[in-house]
Amino acid sequence: MDLLLQRIFDALFNGAIYASLAVALVMIYRATGLLNFAQGELATFSAYVGFLLLTPPATAGVAGITLVGFLPGLPWPTPLAIAGAVLFGAMAGALTERVLIRPLEGRPDLPVVNVTIGLLIAVNALTVEFWGTQARLFPSPFPSGPDDFVPVGGSRLRIETIGVWITLLVLLGLLALLLYRSKVGLAFRAITGNRESAELCGVKVSRTLMVGWAIAAAIGALSAALVADAVLLEPFMMIRLLIFSFAAATIGGLDSPLGALVGGLVVALAQTLVPAYVPFISTDLALLPPLMVMAVVLVVRPTGLFGTRRVERV
Amino acid sequence: MWERLASRLTISQWVAVVTVAVLLVLPLLLDPLPLRRIAGVVVLTLAVLGLVVATGYTGLISLGHGAFVGLGAFALASYVDVVGLPYAAALPATFVTCWAVGWVLGLPALRIKGIYLALITLGVGVVFPSLAKRFPALTGGVSGRAIDNTLEAPAWFGADNTITFRYYVCLAVCALLFLVTRNLLQSRIGRSMQAVRDDETSAAVFGVDLVATKTGAFALSAALAGMAGALQATLSPFVSHEQFTVFLSFRLYAAAVIGGAAYLVGAVYGVIALILVPFVNGLLGVLDNDVFVFGAGLILLTFVSPDGLAGLVRRWEQRRAAGEDGQDDGRDGGPTRPVSRGGGDGWGSGGGSELAGLPTPTRRFPDVTSGTSPPG
């Protein structure tokens, strides 16, 4: 029983990460009907930028060029470096929308999907090109030593897990505030509801979407920076995570932020508990159960658990 | 006479003729080892062709075709070594196996539209190497394994020409499957696929069997990719999960889109890219990792020519043909040949060149006919 509780606690950490990435995916999907396959890779790249900020100026560079050498006080403390990564992520997201997505407005889905797939491949290759494939240490902003835990019923709830969950909840709160209490949020919700009407009412659709992409990419960068301590910073870390969070978003229903949260938990629990009790599924096969859950959900209930059914006109 | 013949061929046909000629004489030009390396990429034509069938013709995005290539390689290795079949039986058996697996994996495609299938297949592509490691008896586990019963050249071919022999076997299989696929895509089945791609609902209204078409297309696609893997294993008898990571899937998808997924000849352009990019990159020595070129190419092509190099070439040809209109009138099958002649050259789906390969969200009802037999 203690073991089960322990495993659930372990799953909670991943659940928060998947949920936050899934929320970012859902945001873009709701507004544009588009899944951003490059979400994970942009996040990895941003985390590496954060990693640059964590190293002393002499070594803070790529291929011998000190890119961030002009910044004062390097190396920065972890929270500040993460903030830097998040800021970079936001800029990268906005840039992606402006340069790659907006010009394709009104095109069929496939070219836009192809662009995000191309971006996934290209950004991943760039990360490998710049930083190599070896794993790096990226310290957690929360106490993450072997003794940093709260004993609950004989199991250990790690401080890091609590920290990640607080971050996630604060993040969701801020997002809700932004969406429901600000002008940009109102515009964003108008676009989500009916894009054409919003445009006719004078909502600046492109600019609002750019903000949306920036926020989504910033959330991605934050998740990558938070998970980097647990999985080690390496160029391929987000590909698996992206699939987990795709699964989370799909299970929850692609257009529901609450669904993304629930989906993230379901996926993390499936990922942790199934390998623990089914001997064939080793930990490196942990991807299999969430994938199967996703396939089953899609076949049985294509809109996910919390998604809205779409009616199509022929 | 030569001039007349030359002007009769479209650029795509020229590419095909030159490619076949180069492939046929390649063993005379190269040593066995480089030959084997290039041939290992050439056989990937089948995998890219599989994506042409699934993505270009039917609108099913697959980001996991590397897994099917791997499945084919492991299946061949198992049939040859564990079951003990001769190659003449093992290759068809591999085809059938991959067909069956593709059919099962394609089942979700019935309910799931484009983008979700991309997610599922991406997951399959990522999980495949880990899954392969779990069956060490068949796949050699972590370290991979060498195939014991290799394909050797018969006595009449010359026993020391093994690689050349394998190469020609692979070429023959590729040619055969290419022709079969071409004919299939030009038949009613191929037109059904395009109808499904352009508008599922309308296709169903017009009597296209959605279930059979979509699962069939995905199964054929998987079987073709599997054959690419089987041929790779035939060429170099060693299989390891490391060869079939998700990055192979990415490369294949990028190659298909860059080549032009809506056209049969797109598979040829795509594989030419798969061969040339690492080669040129090796010469220039700019990047450690040439995957970047495929990612960037995918983005660039989407802006420049969404239906890939094949579409680019086709449009250029049409412009040129329009320019010299009137002079070519009396000639049958000249460069002015209309795109819509479904049974014509066989090098393009002709799925309406502007929208080719794109599952269009536009829901204009009469358009369903343009999906099945496009206007010129």
Task: Please choose, from the candidates B60, B75, B58, B141, the residue with its C-alpha nearest in 3D space to the C-alpha of residue B105.
Answer: B60
**Is the backbone peptide bond immediately before B306 cis, with ω within 30 degrees of 0?**
no
Question: What is the pLDDT at residue B74?
Answer: 95
Over range A226-240, report the average pLDDT: 87
Q: Which residues of B touch A128 (CB under 8 A)?
A: 288-289
Question: What is the pLDDT at residue B361?
Answer: 42
A181: Cβ contacts below 8 Å, ≥ 6 apart: none
Question: CB-based contact (8 Å) between A113 and chain B?
Answer: yes
Q: Which of B154-168, B184-198, B342-356 has the highest mean pLDDT?
A: B184-198
What Rg value do the Cα atoms of chain A yield, rounded? 20
Confidence band (pLDDT; 50, 70, 90) for B364?
very low
The three-state secondary structure class of B154 is coil
Q: 10 Å Cβ neighbour count for B169?
A: 18
B2: Cβ contacts below 8 Å, ≥ 6 apart: none
Which of A110-124, B151-165, B256-270 has the least mean pLDDT?
A: B151-165
Scanning A8-37 for CB atoms below 8 A from B yields 35, 37
Scanning B315-344 for CB atoms below 8 A from A yields none
A120–B250 CB contact, under 8 Å: yes
Task: Please choose, from the candidates A60, A102, A56, the residue with its C-alpha nearest in 3D space to the C-alpha of residue A205.
Answer: A102
Question: What is the pLDDT at residue A60?
Answer: 55
CB B297, CB A119: distance < 8 Å: no
**Can you tell me the distance from the alpha carbon of A163 to that of A156, in angstroms, rounded to the nearest whole number?**
14
Residue B250 has its nearest CB partner, among A103, A121, A314, at: A121
B295–A294 CB contact, under 8 Å: no
Question: What is the pLDDT at residue A106?
Answer: 80
Summarize pLDDT for B92-134 with one digit per residue, the tens: 999 999 999 999 888 876 666 667 788 888 889 999 998 898 8
Question: CB-based contact (8 Å) between B218 and chain A?
Answer: no
Q: Which residue has the higher pLDDT, A55 or A102?
A: A102
B361–A298 CB contact, under 8 Å: no
B359–A302 CB contact, under 8 Å: no
Scanning B160-199 for CB atoms below 8 A from A yields 199
Nearest CA in chain B to A239: B126
The answer on pLDDT for A282 being more than 80 is no
Question: CB-based contact (8 Å) between A105 and chain B?
Answer: no
B254–A118 CB contact, under 8 Å: yes
Q: Which of B302, B307, B358 to mutate to test the interface with A (most CBs of A within 10 A)?
A: B302
For chain A, the average pLDDT equals 85
Q: DSSP letters along B78-105, please?
A: IIIIII---HHHHHHHHHHHHHHHHHHH
Q: Which residues of B touch A28 (CB under 8 A)?
A: none
The answer on pLDDT for B277 being more than 70 is yes
Nearest CA in chain A to B122: A243
**Can you tell me the distance from the alpha carbon of A171 to that of A211, in angstroms, rounded to the nearest whole number?**
16
Question: What is the pLDDT at residue B372?
Answer: 39
Over range B188-195, report the average pLDDT: 93
The answer on pLDDT for B358 being more than 50 is no
Q: Which of A35, A97, A98, A114 to mutate to test the interface with B (most CBs of B within 10 A)?
A: A114
The answer on pLDDT for B329 being more than 70 is no
Question: What is the pLDDT at residue A64?
Answer: 54
A108–B296 CB contact, under 8 Å: no
Percentage of chain A surpassing pLDDT 90?
A: 26
Question: What is the pLDDT at residue A144?
Answer: 76
Question: What is the pLDDT at residue B114?
Answer: 62
Q: Which residue has the higher pLDDT, B220 or A202?
A: B220
ipTM associated with this complex: 0.88
B288–A128 CB contact, under 8 Å: yes
Percentage of chain B surpassing pLDDT 70?
A: 82
For chain B, the average pLDDT equals 82
Question: What is the pLDDT at residue A75?
Answer: 76
Scanning B108-137 for CB atoms below 8 A from A yields 108, 111-112, 114-116, 118-120, 122-124, 126-127, 130-131, 133-134
| A295 HSE (CA, 13 A, CB side) | 19
B85-94: long-range contacts, CB 8 A cutoff, minimum separation 24: B87/B151, B87/B169, B87/B234, B90/B230, B91/B173, B91/B227, B91/B230, B91/B231, B91/B234, B94/B226, B94/B227, B94/B230
A129–B292 CB contact, under 8 Å: yes
Over range A79-90, report the average pLDDT: 92
Task: Please choose, from the candidates A216, A218, A298, A299, the residue with its C-alpha nearest in 3D space to the C-alpha of residue A252.
Answer: A298
The three-state secondary structure class of A89 is helix
Question: CB-based contact (8 Å) between A312 and chain B?
Answer: yes
CB B308, CB B351: distance < 8 Å: no
The answer on pLDDT for A313 being more than 60 is no
Residue B363 has its nearest CB partner, among A284, A287, A313, at: A313
Question: What is the pLDDT at residue B354?
Answer: 39
Summarize pLDDT for A6-35 with one digit per residue, the tens: 888 888 998 999 999 999 998 888 888 788
Q: Which residue has the higher pLDDT, A309 or A178?
A: A178
A108–B360 CB contact, under 8 Å: yes
Return the amino acid letter for B169. Answer: V
Question: CB-based contact (8 Å) between A295 and chain B?
Answer: yes
Q: Which residue has the higher pLDDT, B41 or A61?
A: B41
A9: Cβ contacts below 8 Å, ≥ 6 apart: A152, A155, A156, A157, A158, A161
**Can you tell me the distance from the alpha carbon of B228 to that of B66, in angstroms, rounded to the nearest whole number?**
10
Q: Which residue has the higher pLDDT, A148 or B250?
A: B250
Chain centroid offset of residue A265 CA: 14
Question: What is the pLDDT at residue A156?
Answer: 82
**CA distances (Å), B176 to each of A1, B71, B182, B183, B190, in order?**
60, 21, 10, 11, 18
Nearest CA in chain B to A117: B295
Residue A109 has its nearest CB partner, among B292, B296, B361, at: B361
Q: Which residues of A touch B123 (CB under 8 A)?
A: 243, 246-247, 287, 291, 294
Scanning A183-222 for CB atoms below 8 A from B yields none
In total, the C-beta contacts within 8 angstroms joining chain A to chain B are 148
Question: What is the pLDDT at residue A61?
Answer: 57
Residue bearing tokens 């030159």: B18
B63–A104 CB contact, under 8 Å: no
B123–A109 CB contact, under 8 Å: no
Residue A119 has its nearest CB partner, among B134, B201, B299, at: B299
Q: pTM of the full predicted structure?
A: 0.86
Which of A65-69, A206-210, B85-89 has the least mean pLDDT?
A: A65-69
Question: What is the pLDDT at residue A195?
Answer: 85
B359–A110 CB contact, under 8 Å: yes
Which helix (H) or strand (E) segment holds residue A224: the answer is helix A205-231
Over range B33-41, report the average pLDDT: 89
Residue B302 has its nearest CB partner, among A114, A124, A126, at: A114
The answer on pLDDT for A141 being more than 70 is yes
Question: What is the pLDDT at residue B330?
Answer: 42
Nearest-Cα distance to chain B for A287, in Å, is 6
Q: Quick one: DSSP state of residue A156? A: E
Summarize pLDDT for B5-26 with one digit per residue, the tens: 666 777 778 888 888 899 999 8
B299–A104 CB contact, under 8 Å: no
Percentage of chain A surpassing pLDDT 70?
A: 92
A287–B126 CB contact, under 8 Å: yes
Residue bearing tokens 């309910």: B111
Q: Which residues pair with A65 in a beta bridge?
A: A62
Question: What is the pLDDT at residue B333?
Answer: 38
